[in-house]
Amino acid sequence: MEVVRAITSQQWLLAGDTYYCSSQVWDSRLSDTFLCDRVLPLVDYVVSSGSLRKMLGWQTLPFDILQRQYLAVLPAITPPSTADMERMTRIIQELTHRFDNKKCTENDLRSLAQALDGKAWVPVSDGHYLSPHRTILQHADLGSCFHQVSHAFVADPRAARFFRAMGIPDRPSHEALYIELDDISFKLEKNDIDGHAKRNLISTSLKILREVFRHESSAPQHLDRSRILIPTSSNVLNPIDSTFFNDLGSDITGDEDIALAHPDISASLAETMGLVRRRTIYPEAYS
């Protein structure tokens, strides 16, 4: 026991120009290097003896080291370097393995989520990383608002389970979609927005609305209609229940104060959304 205590407590392991105790460093085992090299000094050799690794406390990297390493390699500006992308991939693979084998606790995940809060840590396509509120596990055509987690991970059911445990949804919540509609509405009201940007925002708002009402025809959702904004013919967003679907087509004198749905809203989408038709205001137009 005295020998073990001496091995683990004394600063006798040389890394660079400094001596450390075993809990302060790691060896250069290739499988572990990208999991800790930014936060732990590495000795320049590999310990292959299982019994010696156990004695040194080098069997498995502590969870907090993985967490610190992930924080250390998260890029301030994406995309990161190729080496850091490999580091992040290895860390996620290791976290996935531990989660799948029940080797990390709820407290571990809670600590990791808190440490990553507000950071762009979720891998998406092209080596970019985004905040969790911008990412989903299933593919959905929602413009630039939401991005699917990198296929390299979502193709693995174990990784998908890990991301779900970390709060990444399969598809965006209604609350997240409402927030995006609010953001689009704010952008459309700016005076300096050009026509191309307007068209893109209107197109994105329609994609979001289709997502909001995705299951409405077959299984009505508990939607908060007071939060739902839809594009109008004036290229702004308006509350859904004070916007009318233009099923008359022609202009009607005195109709200027009525908000009409954008012409790109189809009759089927209008019906799914429960839009009031314009002819209910002017029934004489059909007489």
Give the mean model confidence (pLDDT) for residues 169-194.
Answer: 94
Mean pLDDT of the chain: 89
Could you tell me which of 136, 120, 38 has the C-alpha nearest to residue 74?
Answer: 120
- Long-range pairs for 142-147 at CB < 8 Å and ≥24 separation? 142/172, 142/204, 142/207, 142/208, 142/211, 143/200, 143/203, 143/204, 143/207, 143/208, 144/204, 145/172, 145/180, 145/204, 145/208, 146/172, 146/176
CA distance 106 to 143: 34
**Residue-level pLDDT at 280:** 76
pLDDT at position 84 over 60: yes
Confidence at 35, pLDDT banded by 50, 70, 90: very high
Confidence at 104, pLDDT banded by 50, 70, 90: very high
Strands (E), 57-207: 122-123, 129-130, 135-136, 147-148
Instruction: Quote the pTM value.
Output: 0.84
Give the mean model confidence (pLDDT) for residues 170-199.
Answer: 94
Residue 54 gets which letter from DSSP? H
Cis peptide bond prior to 79, omega within 30° of 0: yes
pLDDT at position 216 over 70: no
CA-based R_g, the chain, Å: 27
